[in-house]
Amino acid sequence: MALREIITNDDEFLSKKSRPVDNIDKRIIDLVDDMKQTLIKSGGVGLAAPQVGVLRRVFIIDIDAEGDGGSLKEFINPEIIKKKGRNDKYLEGCLSYPGRSFKIIRPNKVKLRAQNVKGEWFEFEGEDFIARAIMHENDHLDGITIPQIGTEVFE
């Protein structure tokens, strides 16, 4: 495993759309391992492949959100099935926009399907903080970043 550099403040690159993963080969497995290590080091809750310079539809989330890295889950070729629940407005940060926070409105429940590194499809449902993290990371795969959809808060 190796740490990858997180792209910051490069709106042009971060606005690109990522392509699906056709084949979960060693390059993708290494990418996921490296992303997990990079996320643990950075102390964030989620990381998407384009943030480390790879325009592929892959993101990882710490599904316990305790920051110990023990519960990192990969989502390859994720497809949002349903967004529902109340619309909450919360502050979000992003490892690609360090030190900045944005108020973002999102529904508080999400259901999606994705593949793991073995290529197996699974369904996952998240609420509140996890749902928000999933939608944030999934947005990265479509080139959507929080400066585009949120209101910056200066404190």
Chain residues binding Zn ion by CB under 5 A are 94
Distance of alpha carbon 3 from alpha carbon 151, whole angstroms: 31
* Nearest CB to Zn ion, comparing residues 108 and 145: 145
* Nearest CB to Zn ion, comparing residues 24 and 95: 95
CB of 119 to Zn ion, least distance (A): 26
CB of 94 to Zn ion, least distance (A): 3
Name the residue with the smallest CB distance to Zn ion. 94
Q: Are 16 and 50 in contact (CB under 8 A)?
A: yes
Residue partners of 118: CB distance under 8 A and separation at least 6: 24
Distance of alpha carbon 150 from alpha carbon 155, whole angstroms: 15
Q: What DSSP string runs through 53-77?
A: T--BSEEEEETT-SSSSTTEEEEEE
Let me know if 137 is a catalytic residue. Answer: yes
* Nearest CB to Zn ion, comparing residues 24 and 36: 36
CB of 62 to Zn ion, least distance (A): 13
Among the listed residues 127, 137, 152, 155, the single catalytic one is 137
Q: Catalytic positions, please?
A: 137
